[in-house]
Amino acid sequence: MVSIVLASHGTFAEGIKMSGQMIFGPQENVAAVTLMPEMGPDDLRAKILEAVAGFDDQDQVLFLVDLQGGTPWNQVSLLLGEEGHENWVAVGGMNLPMLISAYGARMGAETAADVAKEIYPEAKAGVCIKPEELAPAEATPAAVAPAAAPAGAIPEGTVLGDGHIKFVMCRVDTRLLHGQVATTWTKQTNPDRIIVVSDGVAHDELRKTMIQQAAPPGVKAHVVPIKKMIEVAKDPRFGATKAMLLFETPQDLLACIEGGVDIKKVNLGSMAHSVGKVVVTNAIAMDQADVECLEKLASLGVEFDVRKVPADSPENFDSMMKKAKSELAAQA
């Protein structure tokens, strides 16, 4: 796996490393190197080399640097020109979208150069202005284009692909579409559409707009009520679609399955705590209604993958349910 050095003035590199782990989970072979006021260029160079020496792969190394032309950038540039460092690559202008994209890209990339080429457009697309009309026309990201209306509707009855929509992932998450989903899970599952299935959100224009704007570059986000999702699942026009489904509650998921949507595996990512619920993992809280709903889903043959991000180790579903029942009984 490609190794990554985060280099910055001050503690920026350490902070962005922590932020990246909050979204993508713990990462191996990643080091933060910081230039502090009392340090000189040679001190920084020594810290960079020390960081690389601790990696499993010291040949394929990607440097994400805060500022082109600054001391961290200059020292990295000098190292890239030395013999034996031909496969080292540097990218300037480090930001969080860049780092998260790098974590995802290196899962399937063999070289630092491959990762650098993949993260560059996403790092640029991560820079935005709100209100949008303040952005100069020439600076409007190309990623906005997919939101435009299609040239024409596909006639009813048309069969695309094999006529059956593909679910690359189905997830229960109280927060629906957020950083962990828009980056880590989309990289892992590669959908071309993200579909939030919720009666409540479908009728809330503000939340609906925010979700659509949170979609990662190149992926369309839609918000539909449960009834519409049931119709879409039976529509052969979606046969070429690879969709990620997001549900706010397990109850919405159950309603979809009982309506005929063929879902076999579900990721339980987050079920927020509220009054009357008990905490069973660091991301899952349940009340009696949730327990009964999840048991019903299990009885229908649904398999559960309980984890926030791909890097997490899955929780044991049966143990989690047992803990929920025990704590709810004690609470009664």
Helix or strand holding residue 226 (H, E): helix 226-233
Alpha carbons 61 and 114: distance in angstroms, whole number: 11
**Cβ(105)–Cβ(118) under 8 Å?**
yes
Q: What is the pTM of this model?
A: 0.69
Indicate the residue type of 11: T
Indicate the residue type of 20: G
CA 168 to chain centre: 14
Q: Which of 178, 203, 222, 273 is catalytic?
A: 178
Q: 250: closest CA among 233, 267, 234, 275? A: 267
pLDDT at 152: 58
pLDDT at 183: 77
CA 11 to chain centre: 25
Contacts of 121 (CB under 8 A, 6+ apart): 217
pLDDT per position in the chain (332 positions), as tens? 999 999 999 999 999 999 999 888 889 999 999 999 888 888 999 999 999 999 999 999 999 999 988 889 989 999 998 999 999 999 999 999 999 999 988 988 899 999 999 998 888 888 888 888 888 875 444 444 444 434 457 888 788 889 899 999 999 999 898 877 887 898 889 999 999 999 999 998 888 888 887 888 789 999 999 999 999 999 999 999 999 999 999 999 999 999 999 999 999 999 988 889 999 998 899 999 999 999 999 999 999 999 988 888 999 999 999 999 999 999 87
Q: Is 85 a catalytic residue?
A: no
Look at the chain and count its residues.
332
Alpha carbons 322 and 291: distance in angstroms, whole number: 10
Alpha carbons 114 and 312: distance in angstroms, whole number: 25
Q: Which of 9, 203, 222, 273 is catalytic?
A: 9
CA 65 to chain centre: 22
Domains delineated in the chain: 3-125 (3.40.50.510), 166-331 (3.40.35.10)
**Pairing verdict, β 278-279 and 285-286:** antiparallel
pLDDT at 131: 86
Q: Is 178 a catalytic residue?
A: yes
Secondary structure (3-state) at 7:
strand
pLDDT at 170: 97
Secondary structure (3-state) at 273:
coil
